[in-house]
Amino acid sequence: YKFIFEDLQTHGIKHTEEQFLNDFGYTLYDRFIVNTVPLSSGTIGQVYEAYDEYSNKVIIKVKHPGIERKTEIQINIVLWLIDCYLRVFKKVPYIVRALDVDGFVNSFKNQLSFINEAKSLEKYRTNFENVKGIHFPNPIQYTENIIIMEYVKGKSYHELSFMEQCH
């Protein structure tokens, strides 16, 4: 699993600059002061810390070049592994049926769109606006390939202790 989805290399700032100009029609540096060393790099893209023209800290997330093709390969590997599992363990296909394979594939493909991510963030912000201690970043500007959102300091769900997760 780890070799398929984690420990990914970063793409160069040149790709980010070109994608930004292509998607927004202005350069990355026209409206932002950007730390060109990525904060992180994941399966779909990488994340930069920046400051906008009003000195607000923002996050800029940029899709990796060629990620659609790479993702198709990753999905095919997972589907192949499931097929192998079914061939070896013919008497327990109910376990795999319990897994929503189609749902997994569709969910994974939906993650390739930062428009979908922005719409999800907007939905979560509305659904949790009155819940103390939960805050989702506001998407400021987005395209299929780039999302700019407010910086939110806090903990991810995975960093919370068990007791914090239960309350």
Confidence bin at 94 (pLDDT 50/70/90): low
Query: Distance between CA atoms of 163 and 167, rounded to whole angstroms?
Result: 7
pTM: 0.77
- Residue found under tokens 């991510």: 117
Query: Distance between CA atoms of 119 and 139, rounded to whole angstroms?
Result: 8
Confidence bin at 150 (pLDDT 50/70/90): very high
1-38 per-position pLDDT tens digit:
444 455 556 789 999 999 999 999 999 999 999 999 99
Q: Point out which residues pair with 149 in neighbouring strands.
A: 59, 139
Q: Which two tokens stand for residue 135?
A: 């805050």
Confidence bin at 47 (pLDDT 50/70/90): very high
Q: Strand, helix or coil at 48?
A: strand
Q: Point out which residues pair with 45 in neighbouring strands.
A: 63
Q: Which of 34-38, 100-104, 130-134 is the least confident region?
A: 100-104
pLDDT of residue 97: 56
Rounded to 5 degrees, what angle do the CA atoms 164, 157, 147 make?
A: 150
